[in-house]
Amino acid sequence: MRWGNVLIVTLIMIGIAAYELPKLKKHARKDRAVFIILLLTGWLLLLFDLPYTKGPITLVEALFKPLSTIIEPE
């Protein structure tokens, strides 16, 4: 993970929040909550480093590999 990218995206998200939140003051509280939740969800997904994360197939293979010796004939 490149921490420089995380810092840049964090600064951009802070800028978006600083720009949008004053406009959302006149809207309902639910709208502000959804905006903040979506912004934080995007930031959390950034931290997972998704291009290099192993997929669900890796988990399935790890679970069932020991069973393959029992199931498959020799």
DSSP state of 26: T
Would you report the helix, strand and coil content of the chain in percent, each value rounded to 5?
80, 0, 20
DSSP state of 2: -
Burial class (CB in 10 A: 0-12, 13-18, 19+), 52: exposed
Residue spans of beta strands (DSSP E) within the chain: none
User: What pTM was estimated for this model as a whole?
Assistant: 0.62
| Statement: residue 74 has pLDDT above 70 | no
| Statement: residue 1 has pLDDT above 70 | no
Rg of the chain, C-alpha, whole Å: 21
- What would the pLDDT profile of 31-71 be if each residue is shown by its tens digit? 999 999 999 999 998 888 777 778 888 888 888 888 877 87
pLDDT for 64: 86
- What would the pLDDT profile of 2-36 be if each residue is shown by its tens digit? 888 889 989 999 999 999 989 888 888 999 999 99
